[in-house]
Chain A
Amino acid sequence: MSVRTLPLVFINLGGEMLYILDQRLRAHNTSDSRVWSEGDRKRVLNDIVGTMFSKSFMDELLKPQQLYSHRTMKTVLTRLAHTSIMRLNPASMDRLYELMIMAFKYQVFLCPRPKDLLLISYNHMDSIRALVRDTPAVLNQVDETHRKVIEVYSTFSEGELQLLRQTLLIFFQDMHIRVSLFLKNQIQNPSGRFVLTTSGPVPSGVDVPGLIRTFDLRGREVSRSEFPPGGSFCGSVGEGSFELNGDRVVRLAQLSPSSRGDPDPNSPPNPLAKEELNLLARLMGSMKAENVPTGERRFRISLFSTDQEEAGASGGEQQDTIQVINIQAVQDGQAALALARIAGEFADEEAKLENPSSSKGDELLAMMDDL
């Protein structure tokens, strides 16, 4: 299958993760606790984006290779989040990963043409660019990466892009985690399957079904007839821009505040933001700094029982002004069941898809340790 999936996977999953973090950190600024300042928020985002779009990280992703397993993917995304001053415990990361995956699955599944997978990725990049626009150095990195991605993928034929999409669909196969916002907006059924409408515009380059044309030996049209195609499709709305900037036309993965909660099933932007915010609110809302030191503020979620173990795990980072806040991930019933089921699914998946040569993902992880 395709050996070029990783860059797009990270841009899209990473993009989803950044949507959540940005919105959550903004919301926190309006509360009384003032736990996260504007400067903190920007720093978190800049740190993560800076790592994700660093030349070495992207170069590693751009090497032709098979797609990672879910476990490896989750580990790398967690490490990515941890390049900032933010810390999340495994349970919260698990749930966040589920939501990110279902959002991306939705985008890939509904993607009108394989080529539009690139437009979806560019939508994510446009939003990321907006998040770091005040930091020229990081913005520059994003632009550079975007150019490189355009360069690599613009040579792909539609057939090759369809293979890439089919590879991603195997990665998402059998995942039917129900997301309450998707259910509410009726883009997901109670069974967990996404709604596929039989109405709306056809993709760019496709004709509305219903016409049969016959030709003579010289290639001249001799007759036309119509047949009832079912559904109610209409003409395409034109092609989006594949350049560094431009109207993407495809609205999947666009984050637009005004249309959040928009029940229109034909053009949902990123409806997941609200769901993800609520989860993060439950997880982080209980953070109250009691004696905030005047120096560097860092917040860790305790994963281990003693501080020595913590220090060892994080590679001996600076400890002087750290305030440790213990947070238990609030697991609602659905999340717990979903986690148990997914753990089972991943166990099966590992058995089937884990490459015995364990180098998959290891170089990337090793490189991140050096950062």
Chain B
Amino acid sequence: MFHKEKSIQIKNSASALYNNLSVLRIAPRRLTYFTVVHANVVNMVSASWDGLNYSHRQLQSKEPNVATSTSLIMQAAFCVLPSRDLLVVSSQKGIQMYESDGSIMVYWHALDTPEAPTEQAVFARGISAVSDNYICVGVSSGAVLVFDVPSKGSNITLSEVLEEHKEAITDIAAECSGSQERLASLVTADDGGNVCVWKSGEEFQLLNKIPGLDITCSSVKLWKGTVLAGYGNGQIRLYEAVTGILHAEVNAHARWIYSLDVAPFSGLLLSAAEDSFVRVWHLAMTPETNSVEIAHLHNECVTDTQICGAKFCDGDGYAFAVTGYDLSEIIRYVQS
């Protein structure tokens, strides 16, 4: 069903972090951007669709106006809004937002870090664009920061702080099917496996809270009102977002899941874990029963590699890309 294509070499190896790959497809320029985090550096590669041109850029996590200090980055993700695309980088010190090619930093938000190290680690993790003008970023305290993003310029402001989670945020996702009538626009997940469902707006509204069982939910997606969640015990669960009804439970992987992705137009689901497997699934909605079914389609094994990032490269799921701990390449697969 899929076969391996030529890999893209990156300047550094990928670090073992959840959701450590982000992809942005730029159709008008026939380019795709990829970002992979290595310690305190974001490696960006711009790949032309004809496979002939690759250009690299590295972004370091550095607070502006501070010459030497750097900090470890937890995640880098592209945020697609109607009028602009931004690259958001979350680290131990704060949140940086760049133009999507990484050329200019347009916004910096510092986390409240105490003078002396506290018992708990402090960092930002979990990034998503939501609705037309918000970007949400999670924090280790469990708070979710909501930033209001204007259609251009750097007048980005912190509009709200959502305080529902008590454990560190792991991942955040917005409804990606494109349909406007869905009530739930955002889902947030934490270290304890708790998943919160929100409606966006001037004030975000909590619609539902799906309790975790102390099993970390490391990666989460929201598609057609369904929460797709990947857990540390290798399970994928499908919940109806607004009601919390469990549709399906899959014993998908033998180790911790690090990444989930959805191809919104075709309903393909991608899961990747430390067990070295990437799996492709198909999601089918049954409108009569208002339920979702999941079927297994395909496996790929990346030998001797603990996978940390897996993303579809396009909305149909025609191609996907994978990163692994200690690996200095982005491995690509394409439908046969």
List, in ascending order, chain A residues with CB within 8 A of B275's CB: 198, 209, 231
Nearest residue in A to B305 (C-beta to C-beta)? A196
Inter-chain pairs besides A2-B121, A189-B304, A206-B255, 4 sampled, C-beta below 8 Å: A202-B234, A207-B234, A214-B294, A353-B40
Judge whether B293 is part of the interface by a CB distance below 8 angstroms.
yes
Judge whether B100 is part of the interface by a CB distance below 8 angstroms.
no
Partner of B234, one of A3, A158, A163, A209: A209
CA distance A195 to B303 in the complex (A): 8
CA distance A169 to B306 in the complex (A): 11
- Interface residue stretch chosen among A13-21, A34-42, A222-230, A247-255: A222-230
Given A173-B15, A207-B235, A209-B253, A215 and B248 touching (CB < 8 A)?
Answer: yes
Asked whether B16 lies within 8 Å of A159 as measured between CB atoms, the reply is no
Asked whether B16 lies within 8 Å of A169 as measured between CB atoms, the reply is yes
Asked whether B326 lies within 8 Å of A170 as measured between CB atoms, the reply is no
Asked whether A353 lies within 8 Å of B39 as measured between CB atoms, the reply is yes
CA distance A174 to B13 in the complex (A): 7
Judge whether B229 is part of the interface by a CB distance below 8 angstroms.
no
Nearest residue in B to A351 (C-beta to C-beta)? B70
Asked whether B304 lies within 8 Å of A3 as measured between CB atoms, the reply is no
Asked whether A214 lies within 8 Å of B72 as measured between CB atoms, the reply is no
Judge whether A313 is part of the interface by a CB distance below 8 angstroms.
no
- Bitwise interface map of A from 214 to 244 toward B, beta carbon under 8 Å scored 1, else 0: 1111010000000111110100000000000
Q: In chain B between 1 and 41, which residues have their CB closer than 8 angstroms to a CB of chain A?
A: 12-13, 15-17, 38-41
Asked whether A1 lies within 8 Å of B253 as measured between CB atoms, the reply is no
- Bitwise interface map of B from 282 to 316 toward A, beta carbon under 8 Å scored 1, else 0: 00000000010111100101011110000000000
List, in ascending order, chain A residues with CB within 8 A of B69's CB: 355-356
Judge whether A193 is part of the interface by a CB distance below 8 angstroms.
yes
Nearest Cβ on chain A to B11's Cβ, whole angstroms: 12
Q: Which 3 A-B pairs have the closest CB atoms?
A: A159-B191, A227-B296, A207-B251
- Bitwise interface map of B from 191 to 226 toward A, beta carbon under 8 Å scored 1, else 0: 110000000000000000000001110000000000
CA distance A189 to B326 in the complex (A): 14
Asked whether B234 lies within 8 Å of A1 as measured between CB atoms, the reply is no
Nearest residue in B to A189 (C-beta to C-beta)? B304
Nearest residue in B to A208 (C-beta to C-beta)? B251
Partner of B325, one of A2, A162, A169, A233: A169
Nearest residue in A to B123 (C-beta to C-beta)? A1
List, in ascending order, chain A residues with CB within 8 A of B247's CB: 214-215
Given A166-B16, A173-B326, A207-B251, A64 and B256 touching (CB < 8 A)?
Answer: no
CA distance A226 to B141 in the complex (A): 39
Chain B interfacial residues counted at CB < 8 A: 61
CA distance A159 to B90 in the complex (A): 18
Judge whether A194 is part of the interface by a CB distance below 8 angstroms.
yes
CA distance A219 to B246 in the complex (A): 7
18 contacts between A and B (CB under 8 A): A64-B117, A157-B191, A157-B192, A158-B232, A159-B167, A159-B192, A163-B121, A173-B38, A193-B304, A194-B304, A198-B276, A209-B275, A212-B251, A217-B291, A227-B295, A229-B254, A231-B277, A352-B41
Judge whether B68 is part of the interface by a CB distance below 8 angstroms.
yes
Nearest residue in A to B277 (C-beta to C-beta)? A230
List, in ascending order, chain A residues with CB within 8 A of B72's CB: 1, 170
Nearest Cβ on chain A to B260's Cβ, whole angstroms: 15
CA distance A356 to B62 in the complex (A): 13
Nearest residue in B to A191 (C-beta to C-beta)? B304
Partner of A209, one of B121, B252, B304: B252
CA distance A142 to B254 in the complex (A): 35
List, in ascending order, chain A residues with CB within 8 A of B235's CB: 207
Judge whether A203 is part of the interface by a CB distance below 8 angstroms.
yes
Judge whether B321 is part of the interface by a CB distance below 8 angstroms.
no
Nearest Cβ on chain A to B90's Cβ, whole angstroms: 13
List, in ascending order, chain A residues with CB within 8 A of B326's CB: 173-174, 176, 193
Judge whether B250 is part of the interface by a CB distance below 8 angstroms.
yes
CA distance A208 to B233 in the complex (A): 10
Nearest Cβ on chain A to B37's Cβ, whole angstroms: 10
Judge whether B65 is part of the interface by a CB distance below 8 angstroms.
no
